[in-house]
Amino acid sequence: MTVQSLNQDVHWVTPTRSTYHSLFPKEGLLAVGNVGLDYRAQNGQGFIQIPWEDVQHIYVQMFFKGRYIRAIDVLTEDDQHFEFIVKDPKITLKEIRKHLDRSKFSARQGNLATLFKCK
């Protein structure tokens, strides 16, 4: 079964690891385009298509005061949560930002930051 791409115009493609199933993360490609996010698994079956109008919020997992970005978490309108660990997160976020309002983005501290937080 061949799945048609969500986008007619793709602006950015980056290697990614999707952890939509926490026990079995999958390597693949994340495409940012004019209609939404498109994820394709490299080996085996797996695809995720998220139109821009379905994105409720984007959480960015940051470490070391924003110098290192680990992952981009996408929360959809129907309460689905997708985590993408991308190769080039800063460029990917810049491309996503072209399609979504700034109010839909927020930083999420990593587990280490909350663990070692100074009071």
CA distance 46 to 9: 21
Query: Of the CATH numbers 2.30.29.30, 3.90.110.10, 2.60.40.10, 2.30.40.10, which one belongs to the domain with range 10-115?
Result: 2.30.29.30
Amino acid 25: pLDDT:
80
Checking if the pLDDT of 22 tops 80, the result is no
pLDDT tens readout for residues 25-46: 889 999 999 999 999 988 877 8
Mean of the pLDDT values across residues 8-13?
92
Checking if the pLDDT of 23 tops 80, the result is no
- Predicted structure pTM score: 0.83
Checking if the pLDDT of 118 tops 90, the result is no
Residue from 80, 56, 60, 79 nearest 68 by CA: 60
Checking if the pLDDT of 12 tops 90, the result is yes
Checking if the pLDDT of 119 tops 80, the result is no
Mean of the pLDDT values across residues 90-114?
85
Checking if the pLDDT of 109 tops 70, the result is no
